Amino acid sequence: MANSYVRGSNPVWSFVDLTGHQFDDTFYMFVLENTIPYVPATVYHTVSGTPWSNPIQFLANGTLPVDIFWDPDVVYRLEFRQGSTQSDPLIYLVENYSPGGSGDTPVDTTAVATDNQITNAQFSLISFNSPYALTSVTDPDPIEVAPGWFLNLTGTGNVTLERVALTSTLANPTNAPYALRITLSGTWTGTPYLSQRFNENGMLWSTFTQSRYVASSVTARIQGAPQNISAQMYDSMGTPLTTVLASTVVTDTFNEYTDHGLMPATTNTDTPPDAWIEYRLFLPTSVDIYVTSLQLLTSNTANNFQYIQDSIERQQDYTFHYYRDSLLRQQKECVLTGWDFGLNPWQAYPVAATNLASFGYTADQTIVIQQAYVSGAIGNNISTARASVVNNYGFQVASVTANNQFAIIQYVDTATIRAGWGKVFSSLVKIIAQLQNPALTLRMKMKLIYRTTLPGAVSQTEPIASWSASGEPTFAAGWTALTAENDPTYLLVNGANELLFEGFELPAASTNLMTLGVVIYTLDSMIQSGTPDHIVFNKVSLVQNDFAIDVPSLTFDETLRRCQYYYETSFEPGGATLTTGPQRSSIVSACYEPQNAYFNQGAANVSCFPNGFGVQYKVIKRASPTLSIYSGASTTVNRVLAFLNGSSATGQSETDVATFYTTFGGNGVYGFSYRGTGLSTMVGPISSSTAATAGILFHYIANSRLGV
């Protein structure tokens, strides 16, 4: 050591704290050696000696005493703390301070540590519909409770999750707006823990040669008798690295619990992206606990740190990594047809409120099934309608004369869903509830169902075989049900509701006929009392994406075209009927001489026979459809209306149409045609002294929907 000491280079001796206030005599400088374990180093009152006591107190004016002399050959570590112990907050850190330098040693480390490394520290975002309960589950998969957070359980028991809004009356020391409430009971054989993983790096906060400290903080309270919690860091090889919260008693009052641990030099040989470090907060096996304001900071010092408050907006900004793949790479195209209901064409059904039979198609691609249909009393339970313009022409379901539960269903055909098997899908359901009895519960859920063959005809037991006492549907044989992540149940409120169903994992395809179904259903009956309950479905998306997202609306003509892939009519959409709207016309014959097969212009009393007609569909069909022909004057199937030279045919009345010949040739996905003598019983032979033209008027329905 040198025999002569020097004053340190300036300016390093006057500071303001982290709120901008000048230091005073409550602050201290700790002089330490610059290498781990950072033991105290000696400085002096005079050029020749007389050691200072360590730490050195600041003066009341916020400066250090002038008589501090240093060894010019030693490199120091300086810690500036708000208090006289090393457990007090570290405000500034100066590493590699060389008093014999040129005088320009900067105060370049002004943060006590890294930013909080925990994502979603105060649970402003959650991944379940609060409250969420599981009963008598055994060894469940890790439960994603929030972006970044998983609850890990082993054994058998019950779990309830709830996000609780906090108020000042709870004396929350970190002013967190929310806490995660976890209630556990049962026979959990392993220690439950809440975890957050830091991916793609197994050497976080340490290297193969160096160690760093990790300080933790958690605010918690227990409902009931005090119990212990603790926290540790683990790596991807399953190695416990360090304890960052020693076993600590938590009481029924919110307190902040802090601790730290030294991360060892790493021995993790896993390579990215498989390598990771994980924080685990261990919980009692039977507990009712609130946790919030979780924090992990790293530093070169063995210190505890209080939670550094930031805004909810900033916390959510730090979740980009969680949503990145969904935002940048995953699909945004909806696989459903016609469920942007304001654009649904209602091709064949009246848009006014109509009592529904026990089951059946209503709006395009929309099947409705009642749970408590009264046989023989058609539509006494549920009515469907296109809602008013006030509700954006949504799909309205209302109770009629009895309380009832219902489901709306859409089948997605094999070609449309072909590329989706083995992928993750999510759905956003937008509805408006008009509940006349809001004190009573009305809950709604969603499931996806699939089968390896085409579905059978929709019926009172297909695809829903029965309804349980709990309100859950049991699906018919051949169908397998899939649930969203955490299988959320939503309690509807009056007005707008947005229901999120995320993380449906579709199986890999095993046949080329695999069919997907979407089932949205109520768990409780709508109430018929006074003004009946109404539910208006505005829009439902189903997207190959990890998260429920809205999708752009199509134009009306594009929505109509996609609906016509399943179902097409000759008349105008929007509630037209078989006896309204302009009919299709077809010239089926011109007069000719049978021997010469050319038009005989002006010949007297030439006989003509209609020789067929055809139609090209507006849109190629999903499969060869069921085809029905109607006269336009009645709803009797397989009839057409005959005419001759623009008037009703000889011997025929426009209202007295003949039976249509029912054998078709070329009835396929592109259109249909007919040639033959069957029409001669209807409009011919035609006798005319002048050139004559025979024709027909008709409507058609081409139905290739699934389940009919």
Task: Label residue 390 exposed, middle or buried (CB < 10 Å: 0-12, 13-18, 19+).
Answer: exposed
Q: Is residue 562 part of a domain?
A: no
Give the C-alpha separation, 336 to 482, whole Å. 17
Token pair belonging to 560: 């109509």
Give the C-alpha separation, 291 to 294, whole Å. 8
**CA-wise closest residue to 348 among 539, 571, 557:** 571
Give the C-alpha separation, 524 to 518, whole Å. 19
Please report how many Cα atoms fall inside a 13 Å half-sphere around the Cα of residue 600, on the Cβ side: 17
Q: Is residue 313 part of a domain?
A: yes
Count of beta carbons in the 10 Å neighbourhood of residue 495:
10
CB under 8 Å to 434, separation ≥6 — which residues? 494, 533, 534, 535, 536
Q: Would you say residue 699 has pLDDT above 90?
A: no
Q: Would you say residue 694 has pLDDT above 70?
A: no
- 233 and 277 in contact (C-beta within 8 Å)? yes
Mean pLDDT (the chain, rounded): 85
**CA-wise closest residue to 352 among 401, 396, 392:** 396
Residue 282 has a pLDDT of 98
pLDDT tens profile 288-334 = 999 999 999 988 778 888 898 889 999 999 999 999 999 999 999 99
**CA-wise closest residue to 416 among 669, 625, 706:** 706
Share of the chain above pLDDT 70, in %: 83
Q: Would you say residue 250 has pLDDT above 80?
A: yes
Token pair belonging to 543: 């997207």
User: Looking at the structure, do residues 314 and 439 belong to the same domain, yes or no?
Assistant: no
Q: Is residue 389 part of a domain?
A: yes
- 614 and 665 in contact (C-beta within 8 Å)? no
Q: Is residue 567 part of a domain?
A: no
Q: Is residue 456 part of a domain?
A: yes
| Domain interval for residue 141 | 132-328
User: Looking at the structure, do residues 320 and 429 belong to the same domain, yes or no?
Assistant: no
User: Looking at the structure, do residues 641 and 662 belong to the same domain, yes or no?
Assistant: yes
Q: What is the CATH number of the domain that holds 142?
A: 2.60.120.260
SS3 of 290-314: EEEEEEEEEECCCCCCCCCCCCHHH
Please tell me the total count of domains within the chain: 4
| 3-state SS assignment for residue 99 | coil
Token pair belonging to 357: 């039979």
Q: Is residue 611 part of a domain?
A: yes
User: Looking at the structure, do residues 452 and 521 belong to the same domain, yes or no?
Assistant: yes
CB under 8 Å to 343, separation ≥6 — which residues? 553, 554, 555, 556, 559
Token pair belonging to 530: 């006074």
Q: Is residue 569 part of a domain?
A: no
Final residue before a domain boundary, out of 83, 112, 141: 112
User: Looking at the structure, do residues 137 and 277 belong to the same domain, yes or no?
Assistant: yes
User: Looking at the structure, do residues 546 and 673 belong to the same domain, yes or no?
Assistant: no
Question: How much is the average pLDDT of 179-195?
Answer: 97
pLDDT tens profile 414-434 = 999 999 999 999 999 999 999
Q: Would you say residue 67 has pLDDT above 90?
A: no
User: Looking at the structure, do residues 319 and 349 belong to the same domain, yes or no?
Assistant: no
User: Looking at the structure, do residues 613 and 657 belong to the same domain, yes or no?
Assistant: yes
Count of beta carbons in the 10 Å neighbourhood of residue 203:
18
| 3-state SS assignment for residue 681 | helix
pLDDT tens profile 373-401 = 655 555 568 899 999 999 999 999 998 87
Residue 389 has a pLDDT of 93
**CA-wise closest residue to 496 among 390, 649, 616, 406:** 390
Residue 94 has a pLDDT of 86
User: Looking at the structure, do residues 382 and 262 belong to the same domain, yes or no?
Assistant: no
Residue 194 has a pLDDT of 98
- CA 639 to each of CA 364, 529, 634, 635, 698: distance values in angstroms, whole numbers, following the listed order: 25, 45, 8, 9, 8
Question: How much is the average pLDDT of 66-78?
Answer: 86
pLDDT level of residue 198 (50, 70, 90 thresholds) = very high
Q: Would you say residue 647 has pLDDT above 70?
A: no
pLDDT tens profile 8-48 = 765 456 677 777 788 899 999 999 998 888 899 999 888 77
Give the C-alpha separation, 142 to 29, whole Å. 47
Final residue before a domain boundary, out of 54, 81, 112: 112
Q: Is residue 561 part of a domain?
A: no
Question: How much is the average pLDDT of 119-138?
Answer: 96
Q: Would you say residue 670 has pLDDT above 60?
A: yes
Question: How much is the average pLDDT of 90-110?
Answer: 63
- 555 and 549 in contact (C-beta within 8 Å)? no
User: Looking at the structure, do residues 589 and 492 belong to the same domain, yes or no?
Assistant: no
| H or E stretch at 359 | strand 359-361
- 592 and 678 in contact (C-beta within 8 Å)? no
Token pair belonging to 4: 């002569």
pLDDT tens profile 501-532 = 999 999 999 999 999 999 999 999 998 877 78
Residue 679 has a pLDDT of 46
Give the C-alpha separation, 506 to 217, whole Å. 40
Q: Would you say residue 468 has pLDDT above 70?
A: yes
Q: Would you say residue 144 has pLDDT above 70?
A: yes
Q: DSSP characters for 529-589?
A: SSSPPEEEEEEEEEESSSS----PPPPHHHHHHHHHTTEEESSPTTT--TTSSPPEEEEEE
Give the C-alpha separation, 28 to 82, whole Å. 6
- 584 and 627 in contact (C-beta within 8 Å)? no
Residue 220 has a pLDDT of 97
pLDDT level of residue 254 (50, 70, 90 thresholds) = very high
Question: How much is the average pLDDT of 530-550?
Answer: 94
Give the C-alpha separation, 385 to 401, whole Å. 16
Residue 4 has a pLDDT of 66
Beta bridge partners of residue 450, listed in sequence order? 480, 516
Q: What is the CATH number of the domain that holds 364?
A: 2.60.120
pLDDT tens profile 434-456 = 988 777 789 999 999 999 999 99
Give the C-alpha separation, 423 to 444, whole Å. 25
Say what the pTM is: 0.79
User: Looking at the structure, do residues 487 and 595 belong to the same domain, yes or no?
Assistant: no
Question: How much is the average pLDDT of 328-351?
Answer: 93
pLDDT level of residue 104 (50, 70, 90 thresholds) = very low
**CA-wise closest residue to 336 among 405, 407, 408:** 408
* Strands (E) located in 363-512: 367-370, 382-386, 395-399, 406-412, 424-434, 443-451, 464-467, 473-475, 480-482, 490-491, 495-505
Residue 597 has a pLDDT of 33
In the chain, the N- to C-terminal Cα span, in Å, equals: 96
User: Looking at the structure, do residues 642 and 500 belong to the same domain, yes or no?
Assistant: no
CB under 8 Å to 510, separation ≥6 — which residues? 452
| 3-state SS assignment for residue 682 | helix
Question: In degrees, to the nearest 5, what angle opens at C-alpha 478 toward C-alphas 473 and 484?
Answer: 50
Final residue before a domain boundary, out of 500, 532, 552: 552
